[in-house]
Amino acid sequence: MQLGRAIKTRHSCRRFSTKKVNWRKFLIVIEEEKIKQLAEACQQSFVGTVDYIVVVVTDPTQTKRSYDERGKKYCSQQAGAAIENFLLKITELGLATCWIGAFSDFQVKKILEIPNEMTVEALFPVGYEMPPKGKQKAKPSLDQLLFFDKWKNKYMKPLKKPEAL
Ligand SMILES: Cc1cc2nc3c(=O)[nH]c(=O)nc-3n(C[C@H](O)[C@H](O)[C@H](O)COP(=O)(O)O)c2cc1C
């Protein structure tokens, strides 16, 4: 799949089929019991319907030492960049996932024995998507996302002609 097509096709999947996943490169949680517990920690039942959940964790202790409060932001941004690549690769492989940001940090850390000073950035239940019931949600067009030169300005100034023309 081409990257442009992968960007258009990627979306949050909340209905996983029972087809098994063979790809394990990013798999972290595979124990059935832990997957069930994680779904409870998220209070989102579809999270427990997969065979694998990828949990993204960062360690802000070092960046905090160097950059104070911004350090945590840098960690999360770095995680976000890695996550986007992961999401695109998942899509390219014909797999599906949903970014899960709503969960109890305390419970997730307890289930997975993650030290308290770490940050659980997000969880990703990975599986194959059930055939969609209806139409896929349309992606927003670029002109809904872009501003020029200042906040909320939707119009770009005409470009200057090069001197020679
Ligand atoms: C930081 C973040 C946290 C999210 N947390 C959840 C979540 O807890 N549960 C859920 O069902 N979707 C969650 N989502 C998915 C969004 O609802 C979804 O990305 C958004 O509706 C856009 O849909 P799309 O991913 O199909 O383009 C989260 C997305 C992001 C970026």
Specify the residue with its C-alpha closest to ligand 1, atom 7: 100
Name the residue among 32, 28, 31, 33 with its Cα closest to residue 53: 28
Ligand 1, atom 30, residue with closest C-alpha: 99
pLDDT on residue 125: 97
Ligand 1 atom nearest residue 14's Cα: 11
Read off the pLDDT of residues 21-74 as tens digits, 9 standing for 90 and up: 462 334 479 999 999 999 999 999 999 999 999 999 988 888 888 888 888 888
Cα distances from 97 to residues 28, 100, 160, 162, in angstroms, run 14, 9, 44, 47
105 pLDDT band, cuts 50/70/90, is very high
Greater model confidence, 42 or 11:
42
- The per-residue pLDDT for 23 is 28
Q: 100 CA distance to ligand 1 centroid (A)?
A: 6
**Residue closest by Cα to atom 2 of ligand 1:** 101
Closest atom of ligand 1 to CA, residue 46: 11
pLDDT at res. 26: 45
DSSP secondary structure, 122-138, as one string: EEEEEEPBPPPSSPPPP
Total-model pTM: 0.82
Ligand 1 pocket, CB under 6 A: 11-12, 14, 44, 98-102
Q: Would you state the pLDDT for residue 1?
A: 61
Pair 72, 60: CB distance under 8 Å: yes
pLDDT band at residue 9 under the 50/70/90 scheme: confident
Q: Residue 121 phi/psi, 5° resolution?
A: -80, -45
Rounded to the nearest angstrom, the distance between the alpha carbon of 12 and the centre of ligand 1 is 6
Predicted confidence (pLDDT) per residue in 76-100, tens digit: 988 998 899 899 999 999 999 999 9
Ligand 1 pocket mutation pick from 98, 107, 123 by most atoms within 8 angstroms of CB: 98
What integer pLDDT is reported at residue 53 of this predicted model? 96
Q: Which two tokens stand for residue 7?
A: 């960007």
CATH architecture of 3-132: 3-Layer(aba) Sandwich (3.40)
CA distance 65 to 69: 9
107-151 pLDDT, tens digit each: 999 999 999 999 999 999 999 999 878 888 888 888 888 999 999
